[in-house]
A and B are shown apart, each in its own frame.
Chain A
Amino acid sequence: MLRFIQKLTVAIVLRVVHAALIELMQLDSRAKQEFERLPEDMSYAIATGHGAPTLFVRWRGGKLERLASLDNAVCTLAVKSLPLSFQLFTGQMGLAQAYARHAFTLKGDVADVMKLARLVNLTESYLFPPFITRHILTDIPRLEVNPLRVYGRIACGFLCNRYKLTH
């Protein structure tokens, strides 16, 4: 039962993170700059443990597409277990802490993970309250917009089916 709850939570947070990245591309100048610097067709796979969900995203044509699967992601980050993913995606452990604790393996260039890490850190600073981000982020980025605005846009995005899979 616990594993089912963890899987479900991780799956929901992955969807929200993807949505937040899309919204922050519009709302935060640093996120916009990070995306603009990504090469066309840059792709990430984030696997969250055995039998647990994987997020596949690809940067193409100025959009962050979510894909059902991707055979050869440029960069694959595989968290070593579902409980570790649960900690990572529920604000109990930051990406830097996950790295320090050998919580994931990586296939690809470390530099590509650093780009993703900055985007995820920025996303977390909007999605989590400061009492959480203080524990999981080395430095808390200055917020350029009110987090409620980000949450509002994400809610609208889900209602309008803006984050659907790209085929």
Chain B
Amino acid sequence: MNPPYFEFLNSVKLLCGELALERIAAELRHLGAQKPLLLSDAVLAKIGTLKQVADAMEAEGCPAAHVFTDIPVDSSLAVVNEIAALYREHGCDSLVAVGGGSVIDTAKGVRLVLSQDSDDILAICGVENLPPGIRVPFLVVPTTAGTGSECTGVAVIRNDKSGVKMEILSPYVQPDVAVIDPRMTLGLPPKATASTGMDALCHAIEAMTCLQANPLSTAYATAAIRLIAANIVTATKNGGNKEARFAMALGSTMAGIAFSNSMVGAVHAIGHALGGVCHVPHAVAMTVLLPHVMDYNLDRCKADYAALLPLLVGEEKALETPAPKRAKAAAEAVRALGRQLNEICGLPLSLHAAGVANKLDFDRVAEVAVNDGALIVNPRAATEAEVKEILNAAF
């Protein structure tokens, strides 16, 4: 059934495929930019991924005016403010972010601060509350196939003071251009390939089943699930397989477009809290929590989960499953996929395996999770007690 009202936005120009990196300079010029601030993290700088992008930009006549590579894994509001100050100090006129979710979300925060002519992101945060402001050309180059952040209207950034991950929702955090070049994920290790791929799968599943789902977001979500389910094992086993890498990158982007327009749900609410309180990496938290939250939501999502089954295991296998059992079988299929990836690369399947030593912090995680915006559109309004049950089951 169609929702009574919905909105859909994807204003990002996508450059997908071979030699996409080499087009960045032309895109920057087209946007009227000449002095980009290049943002990334220390790991990508060390392994040469950042250099690949910087070289491509320089060779085509648009070198970075300044490079900042100190964005941490769980970036913070302070880092956003620091980079915005650097941008002004170096007289930059555009942003190019090269990295995973943390780098891209940080860059989104920087863009928002600059476009609103502010010094502090905390002063302007909210939901759809800001005008476009000053134009700051913004390109992103994702280096994982997971976050989908290159196409979303949300930035998740850690608030140092509260230790909580904050969500900032605005259509104006969407980049102008996203560069999906399969070369960027070729060197991703198997475990990171698997966990970020499961993150993308989680985006698509939650986008399809949450209260804000709409026909357009569901179209993107279902296409994303097909691509991810068909390619995640190959990409994890054989990282050099360009076709599988490209399919995963596209699946991740489509999942991003889907959830940007329909939001996510309890997996993300609890995952954000686990990241903020227990420092569990986002993609790992998604991998661990997804089947448990699917069990929790099962009664409310039977039709949607049943529709997931053929996307996950193929039409033939799905038809072999009796219709009343398809919803539960979909949750089982996600579990089985996790187990398969665990056997290939040791992907953690429990919170304990993900480094959570004990359950002492679960009270705090539950308290933070029920205040996470993602929970508002979950098919069930989870209480703190229910979140703790999910955490205990996932431990």
Hey, which bits of chain A sit against chain B, CB under 8 A?
Answer: 76, 78, 95-97, 99-102, 104-111, 113-115, 117-118, 121, 137-139
Contacts and interface: CB of A to CB of B under 8 A. Distances in A.
Most buried by B among A97, A105, A106, A111: A111
Contacts of B4: 101
Nearest to A96: B376
B250 to A, nearest CB: 27
A111 B263 CA distance: 15
A139 B211 contact: no
B184 interface: no
Interface of B: 3-7, 125-129, 164, 166-167, 169, 211-212, 263, 370-373, 375-381
Which residue among B6, B263, B373 has the maximum number of chain A CB atoms within 10 Å of its CB? Answer: B373
A109 B166 contact: yes
A138 B378 contact: yes
B379 A138 contact: yes
A100 B126 CA distance: 15
B26 to A, nearest CB: 35
A78 B5 CA distance: 18
A107 B126 contact: yes
A137 B339 CA distance: 36
Given A101-B3, A117-B376, A106 B381 contact: no
B296 to A, nearest CB: 12
B122 to A, nearest CB: 9
Contact of B166 (A102, A105, A111, A113): A111
Contacts of A96: 211, 376-377, 381
Nearest to A110: B373
Contacts of A76: 129
A101 B6 contact: yes
A138 B129 contact: no
B371 A100 contact: no
13 contacts: A78-B129, A96-B376, A99-B377, A100-B6, A106-B127, A109-B125, A110-B167, A110-B169, A110-B372, A137-B381, A138-B211, A138-B380, A138-B381
Given A96-B211, A110-B127, A121-B381, 7 more contacts: A100-B377, A101-B4, A102-B7, A108-B125, A114-B373, A114-B375, A138-B379
A77 to B, nearest CB: 9
A99 B381 contact: no
A46 to B, nearest CB: 14
B135 to A, nearest CB: 21
A109 B166 CA distance: 7
Nearest to B154: A110
B372 A111 contact: yes
B159 to A, nearest CB: 8
Interface centre among A96, A108, A110, A139 (most CB of B within 10 A): A110
Contacts of B127: 104-106, 110, 113
Closest 6 CB pairs of A and B: A110-B373, A106-B127, A100-B212, A111-B371, A138-B381, A139-B381
